Amino acid sequence: MLEYPEIKSLSAELIEKFDTLWGRLDYRESSDRLKEIEAELSRPGAWDKPESLTPVLREKSQLESRLAMYDELRTAREDLDEWLLLAQEETDEETVQALNESLETFRSSLNTTEMATLFTHPHDKNAAILEIHPGAGGVESQDWAEMLMRMYTRWAERRGFSLELLDLQPGDEAGVKSATLRIEGLYAFGHLRGERGVHRLIRISPFDASGRRHTSFASVDVVPDIEEDVEVDVRDEDLRVDVFRSSGPGGQHVNKTNSAVRITHLPTNIVVQCQNEKSQLRNKQAAMKVLKARLYEIEMKKREEEQQSDYADKTAIAFGNQIRTYTLQPYRLVKDHRSNFEVSNVDDVLDGNLDEIIRSNLIHNHAEQ
């Protein structure tokens, strides 16, 4: 626990940072836009065609979340001011403890809001579709891919984001051959787009009877879940649709019918599949959603390359070009090779505590831009 002089000094630094940040926030613009949407939705006949309101309702939800984040920051600042005033008169242990808690709440809220200002990609606010594939190495890499899947699942749970498993292909002995997750929450894609690339694990293999050290690779790809109002031209003649029985664990129904769907986009050779739902139709709809998102991302990348402003890590998904290394042996360290951020608590990271790594990359990318 920090003592009062330390708290006072740190509070002054954070309050100065707050004043600078608050001047950059779009609080008034977001508030005015929310009022416009609420007025639009309250007009007679506005709900006659509910399906046409999907983009507006999505924007309304995002604005409400953003303004709630801003209000939380302002409240945390006001609470800290009150405790600082009180501490000038009384610095007993109980007051200092409360001041420590208020300071930590303010710092956390300030960091969260600061991160939100770093989301500059047009689809940062969207949900994210995250795919994990093991590299060469059989069961070793498949086990590593499953560890990554758990890491991102735990990260989503920590943040209160909703998570949907779209597809999972279990490994033959352990791990997974591939996994596709949909993660939805405030700036989900903005948080996760920096995770795209190759992730390397160094450890003593639990599958090696000789106890030798192994290096495993797995690739992570992240695309935004594009809004339904964005048109992506997908012709039926460009698709090959295959149905098959789901593999792996499931209910009594899921493994007994040809409900799983695999779609191949012939011009690009992109293959997506979904087997999580019992209904073949719902699996096909989910697979098409992933396909459209990937096709949209390809088109966006083409445009960005033409403007010479593509992602700096666009070639990162080649093995040997890892973006991050997780070392369990002979020492314990997670190192991101882009921002050079390091953390020694590997278990905490693998349990989903990715916020500091993600934040360091957002700041690094912002500085480069």
Q: Does residue 35 share a domain with residue 10?
A: yes
Q: Are 213 and 203 in contact (CB under 8 A)?
A: yes
Q: Are 97 and 162 in contact (CB under 8 A)?
A: no
Candidates 92, 83, 114; CA nearest to 14 is 114
Predicted confidence (pLDDT) per residue in 14-64, tens digit: 999 999 999 889 899 999 999 999 999 999 998 998 888 888 998 898 899
Is 121 contained in some domain? no
pLDDT average, residue stretch 80-104? 91
Q: In whole angstroms, what is the distance from residue 361 CA to residue 158 CA?
A: 19
Q: Does residue 346 share a domain with residue 199?
A: yes
Q: Does residue 221 share a domain with residue 132?
A: yes
Domain span including residue 274: 236-306
Q: Does residue 80 share a domain with residue 214?
A: no
pLDDT surpassing 90 at residue 252: no
Q: Does residue 24 share a domain with residue 112?
A: yes
pLDDT average, residue stretch 328-334? 95
Is 109 contained in some domain? yes
Contacts of residue 300, defined as CB under 8 A and 6 or more positions apart, other chains included, come to none
Q: What would the DSSP string read from start to end of 213-269?
A: EEEEEEEEEEEE---TTS-----GGGEEEEEE---SS--TTTTTSS-EEEEEETTTT
pTM flag (> 0.75):
no
The percent of residues above 90 in pLDDT, for the chain, comes to: 59
Gyration radius (Cα) of the chain, Å? 24
Q: In whole angstroms, what is the distance from residue 95 CA to residue 82 CA?
A: 11
Is 79 contained in some domain? yes
Q: Does residue 334 share a domain with residue 193?
A: yes
Element holding 180 (H helix, E strand): strand 176-184
Predicted confidence (pLDDT) per residue in 120-139, tens digit: 888 898 899 999 999 987 89
Q: Does residue 106 share a domain with residue 193?
A: no
Q: Does residue 132 share a domain with residue 220?
A: yes
User: How many helices (DSSP H) and strands (DSSP E) are in the chain?
Assistant: 9, 11
Q: Does residue 51 share a domain with residue 162?
A: no
Is 230 contained in some domain? no
Q: 273, 306, 339: which is the final residue of a domain?
A: 306
Is 167 contained in some domain? yes
The per-residue pLDDT for 317 is: 40
Return the CATH number at 110.
1.20.58.410
Say how many domains are in the chain. Answer: 3
Q: 116, 148, 178: which is the final residue of a domain?
A: 116
Q: What would the DSSP string read from start to end of 317-354?
A: TSTT-EEEEEE-SSS-EEEETTT--EES-HHHHHTT--
Q: In whole angstroms, what is the distance from residue 365 CA to residue 312 CA?
A: 9
Q: Does residue 207 share a domain with residue 165?
A: yes
Q: Does residue 19 share a domain with residue 102?
A: yes
Task: Classify the phi-psi angles of 175: left when phi > 0, otherwise alpha if psi is within -120 to 50, otherwise beta.
Answer: left
Return the CATH number at 277.
3.30.160.20
